[in-house]
């Protein structure tokens, strides 16, 4: 295989191919890879493998001994597609951001004809773990705010977004994003009805009916829009195993073709705080984390984003998390996952109430 070809099976990774791509990276300046051991696995939407490399005695350079290979078929098989944004996430979008919270990428390729891409990344499993069980603290929230601010500041505003080539969504796309979750509404009411607050069913209906228009109105002014991560859930954060907060890495930037990829940057904070953080901790940490995010943007040159606008954008993004949470139930529910999904709905609607997001949906 050439270095331009996309890897579609982990078994295609040979010492010869690794030698070529590592010379190209250039993490290998002399010598070669003479052996590779593979341990395969699967993610939610990918096939992956951990690689253990052995080098020739004359090898020079960084010579990483452990790498992580991710293989993605962007065709989900049900009429939806992943965008190949994860390739540019690692190879283009943030190369000039010294503190970007990205895992080192040694090689990546995308083939639109096959609807496939691969990523060859540093394997951080010895030092980091996914944040599934992370209990939010102020220190954690601040580290996350810093990581997101470093990404968001790079593509902040219409001029920079134009340079990125990223889509700035029109009203039809925003409508589609909300509508994707609509099939989940009856399943939420059927599966969780007795556990919902009495006003939530009506509230959910109002969100689906009125939110697209409010999003379209907000999109008329893209002054403070940026390129999003889009799925900054705890499982997509790699956190130090020693209990520290830094370096924190954000992985799996893998949007669907219907996803919102450009919006106010606080979308990424709303995504994790409203959907995933326990309600009591979200109530305590929410404003301090948002304030820290604003300060971190300012430290990176984004100084014209007033607090009132940032907070209004955050409230609108919390409202946007309602269809995000409901979308998880569009398959009708899954007994193995329904408790998790109810948690998303309950936490998000509670945040919606706490921040009086219903006021945003009222007609002026």
Domains of the chain: 10-122 (3.30.200), 129-361 (3.90.1200.10)
Which band of pLDDT confidence, cut at 50, 70 and 90, is reported for residue 168?
confident
pTM of the predicted structure, to 2 decimals: 0.95
Residue tagged 């609607």 (tokens): 349
In this model, does residue 145 exceed pLDDT 90?
A: yes
In this model, does residue 135 exceed pLDDT 70?
A: yes
How many Å apart are CA 24 and CA 70, to the nearest integer? 19
The answer to whether 232 and 271 have CB atoms below 8 angstroms apart is yes
In this model, does residue 44 exceed pLDDT 80?
A: no
Half-sphere exposure in the Cβ direction for 320 (13 Å, CA): 29
In this model, does residue 45 exceed pLDDT 70?
A: no
How many Å apart are CA 152 and CA 361, to the nearest integer? 27
pLDDT per residue as tens digits for the range 325-354: 999 999 999 999 999 999 999 999 999 999
The answer to whether 51 and 38 have CB atoms below 8 angstroms apart is yes
∠268-272-276 over CA atoms, to 5°? 160
According to DSSP, residue 29 is labeled S
84-121: buried (b, 16+ CB within 10 Å) or exposed (e) per residue?
bbbbbbbeebbeeeeebbbbbbbbbbbeeeebbbbbbb
Helix (H, G, I), strand (E, B) or coil at 108: strand
Instruction: Look at residue 167 in the predicted model and tell me its pLDDT.
Output: 80
């Amino acid at each position: 295989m050439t270095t331009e070809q996309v890897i579609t099976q982990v078994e295609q990774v040979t010492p010869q191919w690794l030698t070529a791509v590592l010379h190209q990276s250039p993490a290998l300046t002399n010598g070669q890879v003479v052996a590779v051991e593979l341990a395969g696995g699967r993610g939610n939407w990918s096939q992956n493998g951990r690689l253990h490399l052995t080098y020739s005695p004359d090898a020079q350079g960084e010579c990483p001994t452990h790498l992580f290979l991710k293989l993605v078929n962007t065709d989900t098989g049900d009429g939806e597609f992943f965008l190949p944004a994860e390739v540019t996430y690692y190879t283009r979008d943030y190369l000039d951001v010294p503190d970007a919270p990205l895992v080192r990428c040694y090689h990546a390729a995308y083939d639109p004809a096959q609807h496939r891409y691969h990523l060859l990344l540093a394997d951080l499993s010895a030092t980091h773990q996914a944040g599934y069980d992370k209990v939010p603290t102020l220190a954690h929230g601040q580290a996350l705010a810093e990581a997101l601010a470093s990404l968001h500041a790079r593509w902040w505003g219409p001029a920079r977004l134009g340079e990125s080539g990223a889509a700035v969504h029109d009203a039809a796309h925003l409508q589609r994003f909300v509508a994707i979750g609509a099939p989940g509404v009856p399943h939420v009411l059927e599966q969780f009805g007795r556990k919902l607050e009495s006003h939530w069913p009506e509230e959910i209906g109002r969100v689906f009916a009125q939110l697209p228009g409010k999003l379209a109105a907000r999109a008329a002014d893209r002054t403070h829009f940026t390129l999003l991560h889009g799925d900054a859930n705890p499982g997509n954060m790699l956190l130090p195993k020693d209990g520290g907060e830094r370096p924190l890495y954000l992985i799996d930037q893998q949007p669907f073709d219907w996803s919102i990829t450009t919006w106010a940057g606080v979308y990424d904070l709303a995504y994790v705080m409203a959907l995933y953080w326990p309600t009591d901790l979200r109530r305590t940490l929410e404003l301090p984390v948002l304030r820290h995010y604003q300060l971190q943007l300012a430290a990176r040159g984004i100084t014209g984003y007033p607090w009132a606008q940032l907070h209004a954008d955050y409230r609108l993004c919390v409202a946007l998390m309602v269809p995000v949470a409901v979308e998880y139930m569009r398959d009708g529910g899954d007994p193995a996952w329904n408790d998790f999904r109810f948690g998303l709905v309950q936490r998000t609607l509670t945040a919606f109430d706490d921040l009086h997001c219903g006021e945003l949906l009222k007609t002026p």
